[in-house]
Amino acid sequence: MAHTKKGPLGSGAAPRQACEMSAVTPLNCLLTALPDARRQGKGYRANCPNGHSKAKGSLSFVECADGAVLMHCFACGDTLGVLRTLGLTLADLYPRHLQTCHSRRSLRERRLHYRAVAWSSALTVAAYEASVVLSAAAAIAEGIRLSHEELLRVSVAAERLEDARGVMRG
Ligand SMILES: [Zn+2]
């Protein structure tokens, strides 16, 4: 990966400049990982790296006022899968400066906040994917035979639930 993932965590006194703002913003991180990205309106469009047939220009992302990046693929909708392909995690969509700050106490507070945001995203994914599994189970209970595509979707759900677990383990 071109960007540096680790800040000066646990190294005692961080240089003062590092407290202001990390040079690597989530947007820069994504733009580095997606060299074909181009501006469109307020955000960007890129080819989805997730390996599906409608990948051309399907990945959309935009930087929010707080520096976080909202990302969505209009073809696969698989944000976690896209991130995994790029070697990133949900946490990389949130500003790094949350991890570099003056006192140890506020560092701990910011880490908790940052983790809470990542957990919240993971829970949203988990709740949605659980509903996919539930509807498949309901169909089976009704004696409906799932199609090959539906079975694949259930296995994607299992994969995303595993990803969400990974995010929550930190
Ligand atoms: Zn996609």
pLDDT value, residue 98: 52
- Lowest-confidence segment of 19-23, 45-49, 61-65 by average pLDDT: 19-23
- Segment 86-98 shows an average pLDDT of 80
Element (H or E) spanning 153, and its range? Answer: helix 148-169
| Cβ atoms < 10 Å from Cβ of 114 | 16
Q: How far is the CA of 112 from the centre of ligand 1 (A)?
A: 30
Over the chain, what is the mean pLDDT? 78
Q: How far is the CA of 110 from the centre of ligand 1 (A)?
A: 31
Q: How far is the CA of 164 from the centre of ligand 1 (A)?
A: 18
pLDDT value, residue 109: 72
pTM for this model (two decimals): 0.47
Residue among 76, 12, 70 at smallest CA distance from 48: 76
List the shell of residues around ion ligand 1, using CB closer than 5 Å.
48, 50, 73, 75-76
Q: How far is the CA of 27 from the centre of ligand 1 (A)?
A: 18
Q: Which amino acid is at 2?
A: A
Phi then psi for residue 57, to 5 deg, are 70, 15
Residue 94 DSSP label:
S
**What's the sign of the alpha-carbon dihedral 95, 84, 9, 28?**
negative
Please determine, for residue 16, whether its predicted confidence score (pLDDT) is greater than 60: no
Q: How far is the CA of 38 from the centre of ligand 1 (A)?
A: 16
Please, which residues bridge with residue 19 across strands?
A: none
Q: How far is the CA of 3 from the centre of ligand 1 (A)?
A: 22
Q: How far is the CA of 60 from the centre of ligand 1 (A)?
A: 10
Q: Tell me the pLDDT band of 48, cut-offs 50, 70 and 90.
A: very high
Provide the token pair at 145.
């035979």
